[in-house]
Structure 1
């Protein structure tokens, strides 16, 4: 075979290989984009379902307060509410988020779990009139809102920072806002520790209270270290 003919065959083979690689690459990129799009749709639906469930949760309480439904009907509805909420929360585990969004999903799931705990304590308050349950419910609701805010900050930081789905190593998410929010939440957690374990004079009424306060503050610091960017 002549040398020029061999060269043409080699060039043609290389060209075919390059074209195949480009097609394969573009297909991979498109698949990644579709995966990200599907993930976004599914996550948005979960958050919408949580919001809708919570709106209904409080609207039923209003109906009871206005005498439109009985306490028994309210409690029956709330029992179903908890079941539905658990089902919605389980859907976070079925998501397949791109790597950059995994932390935001974890935080949003944690927010919903705290909301569920808050609802459970709220229902206990409705059933028993135990004010301690109402206090716990309010505290857990605050935690839920803080986790949700942090999750949304991480989500939109990742979303606005991504230029190419196929080049995650080039991604640099904005960090200043996220750092500030983590520090704010940490301080809120520490204040909750003070409120729970110190008296009005800022002192401990027992050694046990001091130990529990110390552990509480350590947990807040641990959370900060785990979530700081």
Structure 2
């Protein structure tokens, strides 16, 4: 393993369990403790690969309280891995606060490359991928209108995450500010059995997903404003 590294940020599969690297598996077998967003979800992954390590809960609701304790444990010599339920830690998931605190205390960090949902969604959208902006989840209420207005001015390809029950409403709001003819792409259930990507105008995408119940994790890609 890397000399003196005490915190490893380890991406985990976004669906298909085979999308984990050999290095990630070796790190998870090596560390003293695995910090997991949901220990039940991560437990299934670790069981699949016959990895038996202590799991500790680390999620958005407790990260402020636990960071100081974890820093103390790093300073006492423990080596840990941080994983989220799916994808790369800190990308719309917990991790930023711990990384910042480790850097402040000169605790060495390694981040492994690996799964992130927006990359395959962007590449298969057919929209420009040389320049893009990742906005993650839109604000649910406060600041949502302002964010949508900023997106309307953006000339780079725009990437959003969304929950399935909010998808149609969000597409409706995007149509209001961008117009129904703006090109887009929506991917859901990436790498899973029922993976689906729908490309077209925002209106066409809305019509498709208005036909029935939407399931799975959602990535929305939107073409940038043309000059």
TM-score in terms of structure 2 length: 0.22
TM-score, structure 1 as length reference: 0.22
Structure showing greater relative contact order (alpha-carbon pairs closer than 8 Å, 6 or more residues apart):
2
Structure showing the higher helix proportion among its residues: 1
